[in-house]
Amino acid sequence: MGERAVVEEGTRTEPEPGSMAELYARYVPGGIRLAFLLTGDRNRADDLAHEAFVRCVGRFAHLRAHRAFEAYLRRAIVNLHTSGIRHRYAERDWLRREGPRLARATASLPDVAGREDLWRALRTLPARQRAALVLRYYEDLSENDTAGVLGCSVAAVKSLVARGSETLRTTIAQGEDR
């Protein structure tokens, strides 16, 4: 027998204020959208947001400000997305083989003709660069707040955004050349 749905079909039940279900309803849909922008994959976004939510509610009794939940959830999602060293080594591995053959392209982005090109280019960015762009341009966080979420300095945020933007321009320019 399957799980009983929290909200049964045809019945609209408002979650109890302050309950875990209410926290979910209030914050997790936005968290899934954020995670989708970070991962580009809806299933991974669901997994990421749900794991972050579970971790945050696990610590909820220790939070000193319940209204800070959204910020903690955002930070958890970004940290889960960018955590681990696999990115670095995956890149290192790839570049060992491909590095010498990579062409350098320094042309600036003439025009962003297709959003899908931009979306695809975003998917090639390292996790932290992509996260910095999403936090700055989607969440509209300041550089200070972005640094707080990413756990780095403001200078590092500036660098991540600059590098990410440069890579996007380069990638799209290369695509147009082809």
CB of 63 to another protein, least distance (A): 9
CB of 17 to another protein, least distance (A): 14
User: Does 175 participate in binding another protein (rule CB under 8 A)?
Assistant: no
Whole-number Å distance between alpha carbons of 140 and 126: 20
Neighbours of 53 (CB within 10 A): 21
User: Does 25 participate in binding another protein (rule CB under 8 A)?
Assistant: yes
CA angle 138, 82, 133 (to 5 degrees): 25
Q: Token pair 């971790």 is at which residue?
A: 55
User: Does 132 participate in binding another protein (rule CB under 8 A)?
Assistant: no
CA dihedral 103, 106, 111, 113 (to 10 degrees): 20
The only residue of 5, 10, 177, 178 in contact with another protein, by rule CB under 8 A: 5
Contact 49, 35 (CB under 8 A): yes
Q: Which of residues 49-68 bind another protein (CB under 8 A)?
A: 50-51, 53-55, 57-62, 64-65, 67-68
Number of residues this chain uses to bind another protein (CB under 8 A): 93
> Judged by CB, which is closer to another protein: 97, or 178?
97
The only residue of 69, 70, 79, 163 in contact with another protein, by rule CB under 8 A: 163
Residue 9: both structure tokens together = 């079909």
User: Does 107 participate in binding another protein (rule CB under 8 A)?
Assistant: no
